[in-house]
Amino acid sequence: MNQLLDDLIKVMTLERLEMNLFRGESRDIGSPQVFGGQVLGQALVAATATAEDRVAHSLHAYFLRRGDFNAPIVYEVDRALDGKHFSSRRVVAIQHGRQIFNMSASFQSPETGLDHQIPMPDVPLPESLQDIESHYREFADKLPQAARRVLEQKRPFEFRPVEPPGSLRRDKSAPVKHIWFRTVDKLADDEALHRCLLAYVSDFHLLDTALRPHGVSLISPQLVIASIDHAMWFHRSVRVDDWLLYAVDSPSASGARGFTRGSVFARDGRLVASAAQEGLIRVTA
């Protein structure tokens, strides 16, 4: 397995301290704090470990404080409900004695029922698109050192954007983005693992979509941007080691907050998941 992906699997493999208590490590991905998707994914791993034979179908989370990637994170799971078909869990992430994150997640035993979905957007296939790293190399020398450190980090996922990335954008555009993604190597046939990794990667490429109508650059020194909350719904089985399309839009920005939502489609057109996020978007003087 690819070394970067193997390391991500290790990060997502938590140490079980007690029946409902887990501990996880962090990785520095170039940002000044722990990547929010890592905490989201690890929290889902912890919750999943207490909901045997059921798969996650939704989660709702709040980012409370910045995480320190130099210290472990402890995840405490509350087994709120184990019903006939559904299980509910609440997870609190603790670091340095304080809550940094909390999440509620719901799990369901497999069932069949009514089935419909919205159509997949008509966009170019990933094979016809450049990897996002190729786009960044075109203007890397114009970026501040801090921004280069983030963008030049090698990832366990590859991303191929339909629209060119907007790190240097100053022109206003529609609050819409489409980007293909997948892991850089194959994974085991483990539905729970694929859903937890999808939660991890869902935190990429969401919030900056709310900047597009305003001509604001993601790396602008006047911009303060951070995730506030994150929600996901898992609709159908998913493999993150095959191409997935993230179709993202931002219906609203107001009150120094931006709201974004994303639909995740499998290559065969199935809608496998949906996500929504609101974040702080504050432009200072």
Which residues are annotated as catalytic?
203, 227, 277
In single-letter form, the type of residue at position 174 comes to A
Query: What residues contact 152, with CB distance under 8 A and at least 6 apart?
Result: 30, 136, 140
Query: What residues contact 266, with CB distance under 8 A and at least 6 apart?
Result: 236, 238, 239, 242, 244, 272
